[in-house]
Amino acid sequence: MQPTPPPRTEDPLLSIGVFARRSRLSHKALRLYDRQGLLVPADVDPASGYRRYRESQLATARLIVQLRRLDMPLAAVAAVAAAPATEAAALVRAYWDGVEREFAGRRWLALHLSAQLSGSPSEAGDSKMFTIEVRDVPAQQVLTEQRHVTAADLPRFIGEAMGRLIAAAEPFGGMAGPGLAIYHGEVNEDSDGPVEICIPVAVPPGADTTRVALREEPAHREAYTRISKAQVAFPQILSAYDAVSHWLTAEGNRASDSPREVYFADWDAAGPEDPVCDIAFPIGE
């Protein structure tokens, strides 16, 4: 009679060699993940230090391999590996959204540098970067906030000031048009504007406006080009400004007032390639 084999455990221990082969992780990587608490051995011999892993840990190991192929940092990998499935999926989506935003921004920066180095502000290589159009803008009342701000602090100022002004617009029925960022001076690493943020409103007759800064933005004709969320980043946004300025000169026109950014889309909901902003120059007579 053949002896009865011992019952097979449902989650057997695997030697580090077997685990490394099946997970496609090197011994060096396994030691690193052990030190960081990302993939800890299920059993360590107290005398020899020999490590063994449970077969069920292969799922985590394979997940780590896949996440690292996305160039995900170990801290983010650890967060995904420790999270419940739905939350882990959301973390991966958020990480990849960030990667795509960064890539799109770098791509437009490369185009900006190419155009800058070639001496052609409106073209990069053989492809047209910007389309310039003209439109008439009616006079409008705007709530306004103005500050001297450098390029490094500009994105935060725009977002925070627009948030404050949108809230201030509520008693007047909310926003009556896209928000504006008007540049009354150069903004870069060394120059700080000033920059004026405006939210159009339709103030009813007799409304109390003593607690807000309100002015009229005059009617004008403007030349503009539409850009994506990725193109808004500094310094690549400068290519759009250069393109409109170059067009004005080529057409024999001049800017009659400060250039501005017209934010017409939901910034948070927009993807890197979605159009979100117009770069506009009022045109002089």
Per residue in 37-52, pLDDT (tens digit) is: 999 999 998 888 899 9
pLDDT at 285: 65
In the chain, which residues fall in CATH 1.10.1660.10? Answer: 13-82
pLDDT at 4: 54
Q: Once rounded to an integer, what is the mean pLDDT over residues 106-113?
A: 75
CATH number given to 13-82:
1.10.1660.10
C-beta of residue 177 within 8 angstroms of C-beta of residue 140:
yes
Whether the pLDDT of residue 70 is over 60: the answer is: yes
Please give the Cα distance from 158 to 197 (Å, whole number).
Answer: 7
pLDDT at 127: 39
79 contacts: CB under 8 Å, gap ≥ 6:
91
Q: Once rounded to an integer, what is the mean pLDDT over residues 166-184?
A: 96
93 contacts: CB under 8 Å, gap ≥ 6:
none
C-beta of residue 121 within 8 angstroms of C-beta of residue 245:
yes
Mean pLDDT lowest among 62-66, 69-73, 112-116, 140-144: 112-116
Radius of gyration of the chain (CA): 29
pLDDT at 238: 85
pLDDT at 261: 97
Whether the pLDDT of residue 124 is over 60: the answer is: no
Q: What angle do CA 155, 157, 163 make, to 5 degrees?
A: 105
pLDDT at 39: 93
Q: What percent of the chain has pLDDT over 90?
A: 66
88 contacts: CB under 8 Å, gap ≥ 6:
80, 81
Whether the pLDDT of residue 15 is over 70: the answer is: yes
Q: pLDDT tens, 126-157?
A: 335 789 999 999 999 999 999 999 888 999 99
Mean pLDDT lowest among 101-115, 116-130, 201-215: 116-130
Residue 29's pLDDT band (cuts 50, 70, 90): very high
Residue 1's pLDDT band (cuts 50, 70, 90): very low
The residue behind tokens 């800064």 is: 213
Q: What is the pTM of this model?
A: 0.67
In the chain, which residues fall in CATH 3.20.80.10? Answer: 127-282
Q: What is the β-pairing status of strands 43-44 and 13-15?
A: unpaired
Q: Once rounded to an integer, what is the mean pLDDT over residues 206-219?
A: 93
Whether the pLDDT of residue 173 is over 90: the answer is: yes
* Nearest-10 Cα torsion for 206, 207, 212, 213: -40
Whether the pLDDT of residue 99 is over 90: the answer is: no
Please give the Cα distance from 250 to 267 (Å, whole number).
Answer: 32
Name the burial class of residue 249, with classes exposed (0-12), middle (13-18) and buried (19+) by CB atoms within 10 angstroms of its CB.
exposed
Tokens of 188: 């870069």
pLDDT at 125: 34
CATH number given to 127-282:
3.20.80.10
202 contacts: CB under 8 Å, gap ≥ 6:
141, 172, 173, 176
Region for 150 from its dihedrals, namely left if φ exceeds 0, alpha if ψ lies in -120 to 50, beta otherwise: beta
96 contacts: CB under 8 Å, gap ≥ 6:
70
Tokens of 213: 């800064």
- Output the average pLDDT for the chain: 88
132 contacts: CB under 8 Å, gap ≥ 6:
122, 223, 224, 225, 243, 244, 247
Phi–psi pair at 22, nearest 5 degrees:
-75, -30
Tokens of 53: 């892993």
Q: pLDDT tens, 224-279?
A: 999 999 889 887 888 899 889 989 999 999 999 999 999 999 998 998 889 999 99
